[in-house]
Amino acid sequence: MSLCLFPDTSILCIQVRKTGETAFPAADGTYFTLLQVRKERPMTAEYPNKPVSVDVLDTTLRDGAQAEGISFSVNDKFAVFEALADIGVRYVEAGNPGSNPKDREFFSTFIQTKDAGTRLCAFGSTKRKDKTCDEDAQIQSLLQSGTSTIVIFGKVWAMEVEEIIRATPDENIRMIADTISYFAVRGIEVIFDAEHYFEAAKSNREYAKACLLAAQNAGASCVCLCDTNGSTMPEDVAEYVAEVVALVDPDRCKVGIHCHNDSGVAVSNTLQAVLAGARHIQGTFNGIGERCGNANLATIIPNLQLKYGIHCVPEDRMDLLTPIARKIADIENMTLPGSAPYVGISAFAHKAGMHVDAIKKNTSTFEHVPPESVGNSRRFLVSEIAGKAAILELIRRIRPDIDKASPEVEQVLARVKQLEHDGYSFEGAEASQELLVCRELGIYRPFFDLERIAVNSEHPHIGPLSASSFIKIHVDGKTEVTAEEGDGPINAIDKALRKAMEVFYPELKKTRLSDYKVRVLNRHATASSVRVLIETTDGIRSWRTVGVSTDIISASYQALVDSLEYPLMTARLKKS
């Protein structure tokens, strides 16, 4: 038994000779058991105000929604909230409930169906100069959102007070104090976001500090310093944060930090702020946000928790970091860079032969933390597949007699690995995954044979529909030839395939497609591989299927076939 201490972390591994729930394999046939020890990292510099824990506020649904190309539906917002709640983020900031009907719907639905384990926050600005809070429609919509925490942003930069909101310095301080106390006296927690704090402090430090004190005295639980344009360098962040930490009353009010990545140092700025005494951090999973994005929580959380031993999320959920980051990227329809620290698919991938040798001798030579500690995996190990337990569970659902030593498990794993190499992703396509398992176990029998499907699309077109599709299939010796028109080729093949299948399987009439997503996988322009994800519903259940091809028609067809065969397969398994 040997001890492997990652020198830069508070993670301790004990090497053992047998596997188990919490053990992961080393190259030499032994196993590591991962112990995350709340041990102080040997800090070289002195940080007397370094906290033992920080509150995490994720603003993916608010600041993140400002990123180019991002748009969340109400359902997307629920899915992001649930993912963040799963990993145990304390606050989820989700936009301004008064700004549009979609946000209003989200906030009102949310209140009725969710508890406050992870707190939903509405976001808005200080009241208008010329209105009371009772008269101000924006303040009233925040109040009506019913959230137990509200984030209020306000001006603290004298130049902006004068030029942008055209108020006197005193008027602005009254706007801050009145707005915060309006909510605080009603028992609502208020976090104050001080916009452009660092510019503000550079040009008029006393005024900026006076605004923060007004916020604290009006009842804010946190004054959050925002580097709104992402200009500030880490050493300056540390200095200004330390000054504010000394200013506020720690029993009443935390200091927070909100960074943007325009200078590529948002992660570092956030860490420096925490070392200087900030106890509240804001950012977005995967760093999405306007311009160069917000501070990336998927990097900051493991840095704080594993490297500094500062608590951010429950310790036993740290291994959800990678799956949650990937799930959120999927909802955003964005491609998570392979190189993303901790959570990227390349983050623990080893290419150089020399490195592979070195890592077999001592994992800390080329890995700064064990990949398992953040739910990621090392890539050169043959046996290494993140979803092994999930696959086994999936197999067991169909064949409860199979255990992890059965050859079928390796066979299914090998097939999944091959398909993932080709660009498939079964994450979020559980119906296609089940069909794959059925095929590998020899249980699957096709529900139809395709002889030919053809689609034609013509521009300009006569009539409202641009595409037509021909299909010929065989089921149990019977043939069906039919056709359909559609709004575009995908719609045309969907309609033709259903029409033909429903002749033999009338139960499919109650199913319909409820979502269709396309993702381009690599860069060879229009000949890139595309992944098509389809969601289908029968009104009660819904299931998701996937297809991958260089040809969007072919990828869509694969996903469509799975979407129809899945309910048929499920029914057949129940009967047998």
Q: Which is nearer to its own copies, 402 or 520 (CB)?
A: 520
H or E segment and range at residue 272: helix 266-275
The correct pick among 264, 463, 477, 506 for binding its own copies (CB under 8 A) is: 264
Query: Which stretch in 114-122, 144-152, 155-163, 401-409 sits in contact with its own copies by CB under 8 A?
Result: 155-163
**290 near its own copies (CB under 8 A):** yes
Among 360, 345, 282, residue whose Cα is nearest residue 61: 282
Closest CB 30 distance from its own copies, rounded Å:
16
Which residue in 82, 86, 239, 430 binds its own copies (CB under 8 A)? Answer: 239
Between 180 and 471, CB nearer to its own copies = 471
Edge-to-edge strands, sheet with 11-16: 2-5, 11-16, 31-36, 23-25
Phi, psi of 262 (to 5 degrees): -60, -30
Supply the minimum distance, in Å, between the C-beta of residue 118 and its own copies: 24
Q: Which residue has the tokens 């319909």?
A: 512
Residue from 379, 316, 307 nearest 21 by CA: 316
Q: Which of 180, 211, 248, 467 binds its own copies (CB under 8 A)?
A: 467
CA neighbor of 256 nearest in space, from 95, 43, 59: 59
Per CB under 8 A, does 51 bind its own copies?
A: no
Q: Which is nearer to its own copies, 109 or 148 (CB)?
A: 109
Nearer to its own copies, 55 or 330 (CB): 330
Question: Which one of 83-91, 215-223, 257-265, 503-511 is the stretch in contact with its own copies (CB under 8 A)?
Answer: 257-265
Residue 344 in contact with its own copies, rule: CB under 8 A: yes
Q: How many residues bind its own copies (CB under 8 A)?
A: 126
Residues 62-81 that bind its own copies (CB under 8 A): 66-69, 73
Cα–Cα distance for residue pair 355/363, rounded to 1 Å: 10
**Member of 141, 145, 179, 232 binding its own copies (CB under 8 A):** 232
In the complex, least distance from residue 112 CB atom to its own copies, rounded to whole angstroms: 22
Nearer to its own copies, 6 or 31 (CB): 6
Handedness of CA 319, 324, 329, 330 (dihedral sign): positive
Q: Which stretch binds its own copies (CB under 8 A): 215-223, 255-263, 310-318, 320-328?
A: 255-263
Structure tokens at 154: 């306000």
Of 246, 558, 564, nearest to 424 by C-alpha is 558
How many other CB atoms are found less than 10 A from the CB of residue 129? 13
96-135 positions binding its own copies, by CB under 8 A: none
Figure out which of the listed residues 30, 49, 203, 406 binds its own copies, where binding follows CB under 8 A.
203
Whether residue 137 contacts residue 179, with contact meaning beta carbons closer than 8 Å, is answered with: no
Q: How far is the CB of 98 from its own copies (least distance, A)?
A: 14
Tokens of 354: 């020399």
Site for its own copies in 393-452 (CB under 8 A): 427-428, 450, 452
Question: DSSP per residue over 151-213, as a string?
Answer: EEEEE--HHHHHHTS---HHHHHHHHHHHHHHHHTTT-EEEEEEETHHHHHHHHHHHHHHHHH
Residues 220 and 413: their CA atoms lie apart, in Å, by 53
- Select from 368, 395, 508, 546 the one that contacts its own copies (CB under 8 A): 368
Which of 365, 411, 418, 479 contacts its own copies by CB under 8 A? 365
Q: Which is nearer to its own copies, 181 or 529 (CB)?
A: 529
The correct pick among 402, 454, 475, 568 for binding its own copies (CB under 8 A) is 454
In the bound state with its own copies, the residue whose beta carbon lies nearer, of 409 and 533, is 533
Does 375 participate in binding its own copies (rule CB under 8 A)?
no
Please give the span between the terminal C-alpha atoms of the chain, in angstroms, as a whole number. 49
Does 494 help bind its own copies (rule: CB under 8 A)?
yes
Q: Strand, helix or coil at 68?
A: coil
Which among 160, 209, 150, 208 has a CA at the least distance from the CA of 181?
150
Kindly tell me which residue out of 135, 403, 507, 551 binds its own copies, with binding defined by CB under 8 A. 551
Measured distance CA(514)–CA(536) in Å, rounded: 5
Q: Rule CB under 8 A: say whether 348 interacts with its own copies.
A: yes
CB of 552 to its own copies, least distance (A): 5
